[in-house]
Amino acid sequence: MARGAVVWGRGGGGGKFCCSFKRITVVVCCVNLVAALLVLRTFYTSFSLVSSSDPFSVDQLERIQESIRVRRDAEPVELVRAVRKLRKELLKDEKRVLKLPQPVKQKLANEILQKLQSVKDNNVTEQRVYLWRVEKLKEVKRVTSSKSNLNSSIPFQEAKMLKRALASNWQMLLEAIGLWLPADVVHTEHNDKPENEQDLEEIIPGRPLPPECHAKTHTDYDGAAVRWGLTHHQESAADCCQACLDQAKNAKPGEMKCNIWVYCPSEFGCYSPDIYKHKHQECWLKQAEKPRLNFKDEYSESYRNNHPNAPVVVPWISGIVGA
């Protein structure tokens, strides 16, 4: 097998230098090895310098240790222990309640509801439920104290579960059986109005009403329709009253003369027990020899029960003219 070689020569018959590929490869590898060692030495030197240098001074280290000690001393250890203890107790109570079978919970709920059938006062409700709990707890204790007690309708195992549940968290048991007792709400109305200050009258939209209109807010008078409000709209209650006065003045012989006006000032319309939907600015002109009220101030509770769409307050403004 032939081996390659490189030959360099000098002119004039000088000396020759011969170098094989193998020698060149060895020389290149040696150079690379030396370079790699130099790089590793540089990395090692820089790493040792960084590791040997401390980023914090002695004073800073003392402050860090002091802050750690202060933070540990400031921890509410007793409070944390109390919270953990309370959490364990609540979990125990919850487990006791959850262990009650659904039929037992339903039975308890039915018994309490039977006790409360004729009760409407919230205070009496709480008293009766509390007395039922005391009596029930006595009964289950009597059953658990003597297995041979045949006078009770509660089985022994059920009595044991009820004893633990009734003696534990009472509110949690009520929630588990689906019974909620509302808390007493004491509402005290404070009158912040200064003394000798008169009540503000209700503001009626539009121009002021003249005295002869005898306007009354939240009032609906009855009477025969002279002009239907469904097709007769006016800008304000004063305009509606004026329309009634003008109709009575210009009425021909034999025609009904308006002496009652009824106006809807609400932008959302006004309620009436008829089949029509009464809109804003409706002006009804009516006539009655003896005007009588349809509704005044508020619709009664019995009326609203029979008419669910009726509001609480009568929305109409009415007046009697020419009286």
Residues 175-227 pLDDT 10s: 766 666 655 555 566 666 666 654 555 677 888 888 999 999 999 999 999 99
| Residue predicted with more confidence, 23 or 19 | 23
User: What angle do helix axes 122-145 and 102-115 make, rounded to 10 degrees?
Assistant: 130
User: Which contacts of 250-259 are long-range, i.e. CB under 8 A and separated by 24 or more positions?
Assistant: 256/224, 256/226, 256/287, 257/226, 257/287, 257/322, 258/226, 258/227, 258/285, 258/286, 258/287, 258/321, 259/223, 259/286, 259/287, 259/288, 259/291, 259/320, 259/321, 259/322, 259/323
What is the per-residue pLDDT for 206? 82
For the segment 47-76, the average pLDDT, to the nearest whole number, is: 74
Using the CB atoms, write b or e for 175-202: b if 16+ within 10 Å: ebbeeeeeeeeeeeeeeeeeeeeeeeee
Residue-by-residue DSSP string for 62-111: HHHHHHHHHHHHHS-HHHHHHHHHHHHHHHHHHHHHHTS-HHHHHHHHHH
A 10 A CB-CB count for 96 gives: 20
What whole-number distance in Å separates Cα of residue 43 and Cα of residue 33? 16
pLDDT at 174 over 80: no
Residue that is written with structure tokens 């009596």 in the block: 135
Contact call for residues 142 and 149 (beta carbons, < 8 A): yes
Is this model's pTM higher than 0.85 or not? no
Q: How far is CA 187 from the centre of its chain?
A: 22
Contact between residue 136 and residue 170 where contact means Cβ atoms under 8 Å apart: no
More confident residue, 11 or 106: 106
The reported pLDDT for the residue numbered 323 is 58
pLDDT in the model for residue 25: 86
For the ranges 37-41, 48-52, 189-193, the lowest mean pLDDT is seen at 48-52
Residue where the block lists tokens 């002021």: 208
State how beta strands 17-20 and 283-287 pair: unpaired
Q: How far, in Å, CA of 259 to CA of 169, rounded?
A: 70
pLDDT higher than threshold 60 for residue 116: yes
Contact 318, 260 (CB under 8 A): yes
How far apart CA 289 and CA 259 sit, in angstroms, is 9
